Chains A and B, each alone.
Chain A
Amino acid sequence: MIKVTIKCFSQVKYALNQNELVLELKKGFRSSDLEKTIRIKAKGQLDNISLRIAINQQYITKNTELKDGDEVAFIPPVQGG
């Protein structure tokens, strides 16, 4: 098993009502698998929201195998400015 921390912001925080989650996952779990898990936890509240993924504070563009200790964020459309 591996342990990852999920940072929640904006609509993800609103949908899950949490700032942060720590999940134990099977080895080999990938970023796309975790996105599905998060969307299921949100019970439809993230269905129409595109989420970019950052691992250890860097955007990723490919489906990536997660490692023990990773910090993952599902980033809804950003709104700086």
Chain B
Amino acid sequence: MIKVEIINKPITPFISDDSRKQIGAELVFNGRVRNTEHGKKIIALEYEQYEGMAEVELKNIAVKTCDKFPIRDLLCRHRIGIINVGEISLHVLICAKHRKEALEAMNWFISELKKLVPIWKWAIMTDNTRIPSECEH
């Protein structure tokens, strides 16, 4: 199963499902907002997306990941809008028969997401000024 969503509200994690009998590895990744940008304190990041294209690109990458690695499920929620320091911006769940393919698929999926999905961050500084983030990690 593939499911991708871009949402403008706090992320609810996907449910860990005990009924999956063929799954040996269930891998969860949560990306969170750090409290600094290039050494300067921030209070939040504001994520903006190219509406429409971002979700299509995210889905394309999810499909390619499932073609490239022997995994069963890839579920992804990416949050946009203002996200306070400490909150989750990206939540991914991958299920596979074994951990090796789940770990490799997770790494590849997130790397591709960071190359191709048109989403950007604006840093909200402690004085409430808003500047484009320089972070490309």
**Do they bind each other?**
yes
* A positions within 8 Å CB-CB of B: 7, 9-11, 13-14, 54, 57-59, 73, 75-81
* Chain A residues within an 8 Å CB radius of B135: 79
A59–B131 CA distance with the chains assembled, in angstroms = 26
Nearest residue in B to A57 (C-beta to C-beta)? B53
The number of chain B residues with a CB under 8 A from chain A is 28
Check if A54 sits within 8 Å of B50, measured CB to CB. yes
* B positions within 8 Å CB-CB of A: 31, 47-48, 50, 52-54, 56, 78, 89-90, 110, 113-122, 131-133, 135-137
* Chain A residues within an 8 Å CB radius of B133: 79
Nearest residue in A to B45 (C-beta to C-beta)? A79
Check if B120 sits within 8 Å of A10, measured CB to CB. yes
Shortest B94–chain A CB gap in Å is 15
Nearest residue in B to A14 (C-beta to C-beta)? B132
Check if A80 sits within 8 Å of B119, measured CB to CB. yes
Shortest A36–chain B CB gap in Å is 22
Check if A77 sits within 8 Å of B136, measured CB to CB. yes
* Chain A residues within an 8 Å CB radius of B52: 57
A11–B120 CA distance with the chains assembled, in angstroms = 9
A8–B12 CA distance with the chains assembled, in angstroms = 30
